[in-house]
Amino acid sequence: MLGFFKKNKADSTIGLMTTVAAQKGSKSRFHKLRVADVRQETEDCVSVSFDVSDTTAFNFVPGQYLTFKQEINGEELRRSYSICSSPLENELRIAVKRVPEGRFSSWATNDLKVNDVLEVMPPMGNFILEPTPAQEEEYIGFAAGSGITPLLSMIKTVLQHSPKSRFTLFYGNKKTASIIFKNELEDLKDKYLGRLDIHHVLSREDQGNDLLFGRIDEARAKSLIDKLPSSILPAGYFLCGPEEMIHNVSDAIKNSGADQKKIHFELFSSDQASSKLKEEKKESSSKQNLSSVTVVLDGEKTHFEQKPNDFVLDAALAAGADIPYACKGAVCCTCRAKVLEGDVEMSMNYSLTEEEVEEGYVLSCQSMPRSSNVVMSFDD
């Protein structure tokens, strides 16, 4: 049963909202943005908003992320962080959680301040939700820790832009004090009565419910799904968090009989990818013939030769091409390119859709040449 819904003035504006279709053809170039606000969310997490009043390059789709470039202690670092604001709020805000030995996250949570200027790429990413005002859908979200960031953007947009739709969130953390955006989530639940259900799963704090005490493993995810009312027929499942949780929840959803195409996920990092890449590069033979590779960026061509066990991105950067990239670990799609000629082998892929791969797109950080001549474009 739908709860009472009050329309507010923001519903009549699109704010920073755009579509994936409208973003096609946009250039992955860094822009300088001024920090407008820094807000302490938890002991080890801050949210940061940026002034984008003079540009439309930062319109976004709920779920997308920003890529940052910053020199810290003489070293250029690149990191990607998901947008936590809804485009309907007309605000561009991310959240940064400090991680052990995290150079960028430590700097951002300790030293970043209002009026600082950062180099930022326009929003990108395929982990998205594009609700419409007329639809009446049910969505399920699973998040852990800072994985709440893109889901919060989705939740706020669905509740405001699609007044007949509902969202159920299962959110894993260590304890109550570590729940990012706890107050904001509770305020949303109160504001949109009956349309947002939130279930906190805490691993180090007993809430008096065995189902909500522990980590979100496959068995717990299955039990949580089984507890959903039979009337809920999800249009999509949105998962964000550590790799192990993503795999566990995905397996539980698939085993419940759900269509795999309804499962959407985003990893913040992948230990499996890193170990697999090291092993594959170790096994690759360096005695094979060199490949002649051409990369096209902003209409300019860069030619170079490379070994078959080297990645195109690394070889292109060494040749002087200013290729856009961030994670180098198959998690983001900042380094996406289209193969125009020849063949490449993509070692890992956690971010491109099946449709993109069929159209010839690859992650250049994961692509190794498998023909004597390869041409890849970053302009398509």
Let me know if residue 353 belongs to a domain: yes
- Residues 297 and 292: their CA atoms lie apart, in Å, by 17
When pLDDT is averaged across residues 214-233 and rounded to a whole number, the result is 94
pLDDT reading at 96 higher than 90: yes
Quick one: 95 and 179 in the same domain? Answer: no
Residue 11: per-residue pLDDT: 41
Domain CATH for 157: 3.40.50.80
Question: What's the pTM?
Answer: 0.87
What pLDDT, in 10s, does the model give residues 112-156?
Answer: 999 999 999 999 999 999 999 999 999 999 999 999 999 999 999
What pLDDT, in 10s, does the model give residues 7-39?
Answer: 343 344 489 999 999 998 777 789 999 999 999
Quick one: 91 and 158 in the same domain? Answer: no
Q: Which of 236, 199, 191, 250 is nearest to 63 (CA)?
A: 236
Q: Which of 369, 370, 363 is nearest to 349 (CA)?
A: 363
Let me know if residue 162 belongs to a domain: yes
Q: Which of 365, 349, 347, 369 is nearest to 357 (CA)?
A: 349
pLDDT, the chain, mean? 91
Let me know if residue 277 belongs to a domain: no
Quick one: 175 and 251 in the same domain? Answer: yes
Domain CATH for 41: 2.40.30.10
Quick one: 145 and 245 in the same domain? Answer: yes
Let me know if residue 3 belongs to a domain: no
State the pLDDT confidence band at 288, using cuts at 50, 70 and 90. low
Helices then strands (H, E): number in the chain?
A: 9, 18
Let me know if residue 321 belongs to a domain: yes
Query: To the nearest 10°, the Cα dihedral for 56, 57, 63, 66?
Result: -140
Let me know if residue 183 belongs to a domain: yes
Domain CATH for 324: 3.10.20.30
- Residues 198 and 334: their CA atoms lie apart, in Å, by 32
Cβ neighbors of 267 (< 8 A, separation 6 or more) are: 242, 243, 246, 331, 350
Quick one: 169 and 196 in the same domain? Answer: yes
Are 148 and 180 contacting, i.e. CB atoms less than 8 angstroms apart? Answer: yes
- Residues 119 and 71: their CA atoms lie apart, in Å, by 10
Alpha carbon of 368 to those of 89, 288, 297, 312: distances in Å?
Answer: 42, 12, 18, 6
Quick one: 40 and 113 in the same domain? Answer: yes
Quick one: 257 and 142 in the same domain? Answer: yes
Structural domain tally of the chain?
Answer: 3
Which residue reads 């990108």 in tokens? 124
Cβ neighbors of 300 (< 8 A, separation 6 or more) are: none
State the pLDDT confidence band at 289, using cuts at 50, 70 and 90. confident
What pLDDT, in 10s, does the model give residues 204-217?
Answer: 999 999 999 999 99
What pLDDT, in 10s, does the model give residues 72-90?
Answer: 999 999 999 999 999 999 9
Burial of 226 (0-12, 13-18, 19+ CB in 10 A): exposed
Helix (H, G, I), strand (E, B) or coil at 314: helix
Let me know if residue 275 belongs to a domain: no
- Residues 319 and 271: their CA atoms lie apart, in Å, by 28
Are 336 and 364 contacting, i.e. CB atoms less than 8 angstroms apart? Answer: yes
Structural domain including 311 reads 285-377
Quick one: 330 and 261 in the same domain? Answer: no
Quick one: 149 and 113 in the same domain? Answer: no
Quick one: 148 and 116 in the same domain? Answer: no
When pLDDT is averaged across residues 215-224 and rounded to a whole number, the result is 96
